[in-house]
A = this chain, B = another copy of it.
Amino acid sequence: MGSLEFHHGPVENNCDPPMTNPLDPEEFRRQGHIMIDFIADYFKNIEKYPVLSQVQPGYLKKRLPESAPYNPEPIETILQDVRYHIVPGITHWQSPSYFGYFPSSGSIAGFLGEMLSTGFNVVGFNWMSSPAATELESIVMDWLGDMLQLPKSFLFSGKGGGVLQGTTCEAIVCTMAAARDQMLSRIGKDNIGRLVVYGSDQTHSALKKASQIVGIHPGNFRAINTAQSTEFALSPELLRLTICSDIEKGLVPLFLCATMGTTATTSVDPLGALCDVAKDYGMWVHVDAAYAGSVCICPEFRHFIEGVEGANSFSFNAHKWFFTTLDCCCLWVKNPTALIDSLSTNPEFLRNKASDSKQVVDYKDWQIALSRRFRALKLWLVLRSYGVANLRNFLRSHVKMAEIFERLVRENKWFEVVVPRNFAMVCFRISPSAISKYPGDDGNALINEVNCKLLEAINASGNVYMTHAVVGGMYVLRCAIGATLTEEKHVLMAWKVVHDHADAVLSTYQ
Contact = CB atoms under 8 A, between A and B. Distances in A.
A23 B107 contact: yes
B37 A169 contact: no
Nearest to A29: B40
Interface string A96-133: 00000100101111111011101111110001111111
A247 interface: no
Contacts of A130: 53, 89-91, 93
A359 B44 contact: no
Contacts of A27: 108
Contact of A390 (B72, B109, B264, B360): B72
A101 B123 contact: yes
30 contacts: A22-B108, A22-B385, A22-B390, A25-B41, A25-B43, A28-B39, A32-B111, A35-B116, A53-B132, A61-B139, A68-B143, A70-B387, A72-B384, A75-B112, A75-B385, A87-B132, A93-B120, A114-B118, A121-B325, A167-B370, A169-B368, A177-B213, A189-B193, A206-B370, A212-B345, A213-B368, A214-B215, A263-B349, A327-B371, A368-B368
Contacts of A72: 384-387, 389-390
A372 to B, nearest CB: 8
A218 B205 contact: no
Contacts of A349: 101, 263-264, 467-469
A438 to B, nearest CB: 25
Contacts of A86: 132, 136, 377
A141 to B, nearest CB: 11
A245 interface: no
Interface string A405-433: 00000000000000000000000000000
Contacts of A371: 166-167, 169, 317, 319, 326-327
Nearest to A128: B91
Contacts of A119: 39, 42-43, 94, 106, 111
A372 B41 CA distance: 24
A381 to B, nearest CB: 6
Nearest to A6: B387
Contacts of A177: 212-213
Interface stretch (A11-19, A230-238, A272-280, A500-508): A11-19
A170 interface: yes
Interface string A458-488: 0000000001111000000000000011010
A509 interface: no
Contact of A205 (B23, B61, B90, B347): B347
A146 interface: yes
A109 B213 contact: no
Interface in A285-327: 299, 317, 319, 323, 325-327
Given A101-B123, A127-B57, A118 B111 contact: yes
Nearest to A85: B132
A484 B114 contact: no
Contacts of A193: 189-190, 192-193
Lowest 6 CB-CB distances: which A-B pairs, in order? A215-B215, A89-B132, A32-B36, A29-B40, A205-B345, A167-B369
A144 interface: yes
A201 to B, nearest CB: 10
Interface in A340-357: 342-343, 345-349, 354, 357
